[in-house]
Chain A
Amino acid sequence: MSGFRTMALVAGREIVERLRSRPMWIMTILTAVLLAALIIVPPLVMQRTGPVAVALVGAEAQALEPELSRGAAAARVNLRLVHLAGDAEARVAVSAGTVAAAVELTGDAASITVKRSVAPAVQGLVQAVASQAHERQVLAAAGVPEAVTRSALAPVAVTVRSLQPVPRTNTARVIAALVAGYLLVYSILAYSASVAIGVAQEKTSRTAEVLLATVRPSQLMAGKVLGIGAAGLGQMAIAVAAGLLANTLVKGVEIPGTVARVLPSILIWFVLGYALYAAASAAAGALVSRSEEVGSATAPLQVVLIAALGLVYAVTFRPDTWWTVLLSLLPPFTPVLMPARMAIGLVPWWQVGVGVLVMVAAIILVVRVAARIYASSLVQGGGRISWGAAFLRRRGA
């Protein structure tokens, strides 16, 4: 019988076991719902911050409307301008909150009435436009021709040239990065723990010895890792599909294309991250002498993954410093930090490529070491085996 068929049989058993498990389905549905909620809710919250209503009180202020509209568009300030007749009416509107600010112009003074404070951008805009109107009036009174005034007051176009790319860290991108990080850490943790528990159960129930009379340790380990991984990938695919559906539903509100790009790439990073951690977990599971020891045997792996999650926060704020780039290329962190950086943007393709290559190399190395530990420890009696002793020992010695 071919090794591939044996592996497929072992993997098939693992998949069937998981498909029959009720907790597995509950977790799948919960993950999908949670991911969809994380995509739908923030834009709905952000939607509340619509245009700022500003009242222009009196004819003098209302005359500024064209300049204010132009200025607002140039400064990317979302303004809605309304006209009000007098000061009393303005006070009522500001108090009621129907307008955020009321602008009045009297001679060479301008006033802005607000409830408590107004956005600095709005204040700055009103200030600039009012000053310009005032200057135009003074110059006209001094007999300066209109054409000269216009040319003198025409805004100078200033182009900003950044020497380094500017991260466009808007809220949606940060959320996408955090969602990717959480989803990856959670699923890699859950499924590699599943591998460790499965291996420990086979060892402690002595099923391993019956299996090893027929199946090579490498086939058994590979089949287990692949089977549980396939079930995990299926769960992730359902969650990602729910996320993409949610993304389509809220489209047109304020959603970036980032989510649509990052979500499918999560599946690839899951496969790479899971392969690395599941192989190590299989070895950890084979070291225990009792099922209760699985937690402490896999603790080092869990600590690294949780640390990766902590680093996701650092990466979202400083996505392109030399140390975040370096961390995202270190295999234990790559499957979590690289997609987080990709969500923020600004990852050159060569870095993604190097990340994938480094992961593949790390997986090959870890699988080899783990297979050796697994084979030498699986039918070993006695107490818990240390990593070092398991690595150095021959099978059955």
Chain B
Amino acid sequence: MPSAGLEITGLTHSFGATRAVDDLDLMVGAGEIVGLVGRNGAGKTTTMRAVMGILRPDDGQIRWRQRRVTDPDRLRFGYMPEERGLYLQMGVLEQVAYFGRLHGMDRSWALRAARDLLRRLGLEGREGDKLVALSHGNQQRVQLAVALVHQPELLVLDEAFAGLDPSAVDTLSAVLRDEARRPSAVFFSSHQLEIVERLCDRVVILERGRVLASGTLAELQARTPRRLRVKVGGGARWIPTAAGVSVVEEDARGAVLALDAGVDAQVVLREALTAGPVETFAIEEGTLADVYRGLVSP
């Protein structure tokens, strides 16, 4: 487990009669990228807003480096909210530098950092333009620059990849990996599970304001039934009969079988061999999407 960065314990918050977050525990270590996934209304945004001090939770503790998080701590956090928003009539460089200064940088330092970052994000030559003159994708890059300009120790990105084109996704992925190397902690939510799977050291799945599961991808995969892909040749359609084995899907490449805990794959292999020549017999690694679908009821 990496050294303590952000620790959330017992976080609880309601909007009227609706409990958005319910006794939530979560940790993001220094140098770690943690992905938060869950359906709309699962409590992702509320958790992130509580971390950033935008809302005061009803209960629970948020700690940064083993101390209760304070406003000065938050100056070293970077934030990109789900609903993006910046001053449309303000110049790009001026705007990024302004947010840098709000985070405590002096003017010349902020301008230098803003210029470097805009170059890294592919916005060289657009520094003097008003934000409104930029395409939606480029406005997103400026939003990211605002979150990064002060070299935050913790980066909190809500729906980090929403609305990004593939090249912007690559840029942002590279930036997040660089940030985690510095070593800042990165904490982001996304509905794009394949990106979360590719980038994150750990994943936290939220459901109805609670942590449904969390861990590395391998740990999460271990919690779901093992899957086997089996193709039996000879033209006959084979359906397994062993207890604890079910067919998930079937196509030209064979059948995908889900095995309950404790079922021996060798038993399945022996049964398949009795039906005909086994052309394919492979353990299928479940994707995060599979894990998610396995855990979260529709």
User: What is A's interface to B at a CB cutoff of 8 Å?
Assistant: 1, 6, 9-10, 13, 17, 202, 205-216, 379, 394-397
Contacts and interface: CB of A to CB of B under 8 A. Distances in A.
B49 A396 contact: yes
A206 B74 contact: no
B229 to A, nearest CB: 46
A214 B101 CA distance: 10
Contact of A379 (B16, B55, B57, B84): B55
A394 B13 CA distance: 12
Contact of B55 (A10, A13, A395): A395
B2 interface: no
Interface in B48-69: 49-50, 52-57
Interface stretch (B30-38, B75-83, B239-247): B75-83
Contacts of B143: 210
A396 B56 contact: yes
Contacts of A1: 72, 75, 102-104
Contact of A216 (B50, B71, B98): B71
B19 to A, nearest CB: 12
A140 to B, nearest CB: 91
Contacts of B88: 205
Nearest to B46: A396
B86 interface: yes
Nearest to B85: A206
B53 A213 contact: yes
A210 B156 CA distance: 11
B71 A209 contact: no
B146 interface: yes
Contacts, number: 75
Contact of A206 (B81, B101, B146): B81
A206 B13 CA distance: 22
B54 A379 contact: yes
A17 to B, nearest CB: 8
Given A1-B104, A396-B50, A396-B55, 14 more contacts: A1-B75, A1-B103, A9-B98, A9-B102, A205-B86, A206-B85, A207-B86, A209-B49, A209-B83, A210-B146, A213-B53, A214-B74, A215-B102, A396-B57
Nearest to A394: B56
A6 B99 CA distance: 11
B4 to A, nearest CB: 22
Contact of B79 (A13, A213, A379, A395): A213
B98 A396 contact: no
A215 B14 CA distance: 24
Contacts of B104: 1
A304 B49 CA distance: 38
Contacts of A202: 85
A396 B75 contact: no
10 contacts: A6-B102, A9-B101, A17-B90, A209-B54, A209-B81, A210-B99, A214-B75, A214-B103, A379-B55, A396-B54
B81 A210 contact: yes
Contacts of B15: 397
A208 B56 CA distance: 16
Contacts of A208: 85
A230 B52 CA distance: 31
**Most chain A beta-carbon neighbours within 10 Å: one of B87, B88, B103:** B87
Nearest to A381: B83
Nearest to A379: B54
Contacts of B71: 216
A378 to B, nearest CB: 9
B147 to A, nearest CB: 8
A340 B183 CA distance: 64
**Most chain B beta-carbon neighbours within 10 Å: one of A1, A215, A396:** A396
A1 B71 CA distance: 9
A213 B77 contact: yes
A213 B84 contact: no
Contacts of A214: 74-75, 79, 99, 102-103
